[in-house]
Structure 1
Amino acid sequence: MAGVFCLGIATLDYVYSVASLPTKGEKYRARDLVVVGGGCASNAAVAIARLGGQAWLATRLADDLTGDRILADLKAEGVEAGFALRVPGLRSPVSAILVDGEGERMVISYSDPAMPEDIGWLPTELPEAAGAVLADTRWGDGSFAALGLARDSGVPGVLDADRQPPHPALLSTASHVAFSAQALREVSGDDDPREGLARAAQGVDTWLAVTLGKEGVLFQEAGGIAHLPAFAVETVDTLGAGDVWHGAFALALAERMSEREAVRFASATAALKCARFGGRSGTPSREELERFLAQHG
Structure 2
Amino acid sequence: MTAPRILVAGETLVDFLPERVGPLTEVESFDRRSGGAPANVAVALARLGHTPWFWTRVGDDPFGEFLTATLDEEGLPPRFVERDPDAQTTLAFVTHDADADRSFSFYRDGTADTRMEPGRVPDETLESVESVVCGGVTLAAGRSRDATLDLLARAQDHDCTVWFDPNYRPELWPDDDFAAVVGDALADVDVLKATEEELDLLGLSGDSPEALAEAALDEGPHTVLMTRGSEGSVAIAAPEAPWDAERAEHPGYEVDPVDATGAGDAFLAGSVAATADGETELTAVLAYANAVAAVATTAAGAMAALPSGTDVGAFRNSAS
Q: 1:146 to 1:249 in 2, by over 3 A?
A: farther
Counterpart residue identity of residue 196, structure 1? L
Letter matched to residue 9 of structure 1: E
Mean Cα displacement is larger for which, 227-236 or 200-209?
Answer: 200-209
Which residue in 2 is equivalent to 1:169? Answer: 184
Q: Tell me by how many angstroms 1:256 deviates.
A: 2.0
Where in structure 2 are there 5+ consecutive unaligned residues? 139-144, 169-177, 240-245
2:10–2:38 CA contact under 8 A, matched in 1: yes
Q: Give runs of aligned pairs for residues 121-140 of structure 1, distance below 5 A.
A: 121-126=120-125, 130-139=129-138, 140=145
Partners of 1:295 and 1:252 lie apart in 2 by: 20
- Checking the alignment, whether the CA contact within 8 Å between 1:125 and 1:149 is kept in structure 2 is no
Contact 2:166 / 2:182 at 8 angstroms: preserved in 1? no
Equivalent pair of 1:219/1:225 in contact (CA under 8 Å): yes
Asked if 1:95 is matched to 2:92, the reply is yes
SS at match of 2:131: strand
Amino acid at match of 2:7: F
User: Stretches of 4+ moved more than 6 A in 1?
Assistant: none
Asked if the contact 1:91/1:112 (under 8 Å) is kept, the reply is: no
Stretch moving more, 58-67 or 127-136: 127-136
Amino acid at match of 1:136: G
* Matching residue within 72, 79, 93 for 2:76: 79
Deviation per CA, 1:11-60, whole angstroms, max 9, x where unpaired? 01111131x3228x5x4445xx4321100100000100111111221012
* Distance change (3 Å), C-alpha of 1:155 and 1:162: same
TM-score, structure 1 normalization: 0.88
Partners of 1:22 and 1:144 lie apart in 2 by 35
2:201 aligned residue: 186
1:218 aligns with 2:234: yes
The RMSD of aligned alpha carbons is 2.4
- 1:113-140 deviation digits (Å, cap 9, x = unpaired): 3643531323223277633211111223
Count matched residues: 292
CA distance in 2, matches of 1:257, 1:274: 24
Q: Quick one: structure 1 residues 127 and 276, their matched pair in 2 at CA, closer, same or farther if it must change by over 3 Å?
A: same
C-alpha distance in 1 between matches for 2:156 and 2:319: 35
**Cα 1:127/1:293, change in 2 over 3 Å:** farther
| Contact in 2 for aligned 1:6/1:45 (Cα 8 Å) | yes
Displacement of 1:149: 4.2
Please say if residues 183 and 219 of structure 2, whose CA atoms lie closer than 8 Å, have aligned partners that are also in contact: no
- Whose helix fraction is larger, Structure 1's or Structure 2's? 2
Change (3 A) 1:104 1:76: same
Distance 1:246 1:81, change over 3 A: farther
Partner of 1:22: 23
Q: Which segment is superposed worse, 247-256 or 38-47?
A: 247-256
Q: CA deviation at 1:191?
A: 7.1
Answering whether residue 227 of structure 2 is matched by residue 208 of structure 1, we say no
> In the TM superposition, what is the alpha-carbon distance from 1:77 to its structure 2 partner?
1.0
Answer whether contact 2:18 2:31 (CA < 8 A) is retained: yes
Q: Which has the higher contact order (CA 8 A, sep 6+)?
A: 1
Indicate conservation of the 8 Å contact 1:244/1:280, yes or no: no
Q: What is the distance in 2 between the residues matched to 1:93 and 1:28? A: 20
Question: Are 1:141 and 2:118 an aligned pair?
Answer: no
Q: Per-residue deviation at 1:91?
A: 1.1
What are the residue-to-residue correspondences of 1:40-51 with 2, within 5 Å?
40-51=37-48
What is the CA distance between 1:265 and its match in structure 2?
Answer: 1.3
User: What is the match of residue 242 of structure 1?
Assistant: 264
SS in 1 for 2:115: coil
Distance 1:103 1:131, change over 3 A: same
Contact map agreement 2:297 2:305 (CA 8 A) in 1? yes
Q: 2:13 aligns with which of 11, 14, 19?
A: 11
Greater Cα shift, 214-223 or 52-61: 214-223
TM-score (norm 2): 0.82
Structure 2 distance, partners of 1:240, 1:204, is: 26
Moved more, 194-203 or 236-245: 194-203
Does the CA-based 8 Å contact 2:162-2:189 persist in structure 1? yes
More deviation, 158-167/266-275 = 158-167
Task: State the alpha-carbon separation in 2 of the partners of residues 229 and 66 from structure 1.
Answer: 39
**Post-superposition CA distance 1:78-123 (Å, at most 9, x none):** 1123202322221111111123442121211222336435313232
Counterpart residue identity of residue 23, structure 2: P
Give the whole-Å Cα distance in 1 for the aligned partners of 2:58 and 2:252: 35
Map residues 279-294 of structure 1 onto 2, 5 A cutoff.
Answer: 279-294=302-317
Is 1:150 aligned to residue 162 of structure 2? no
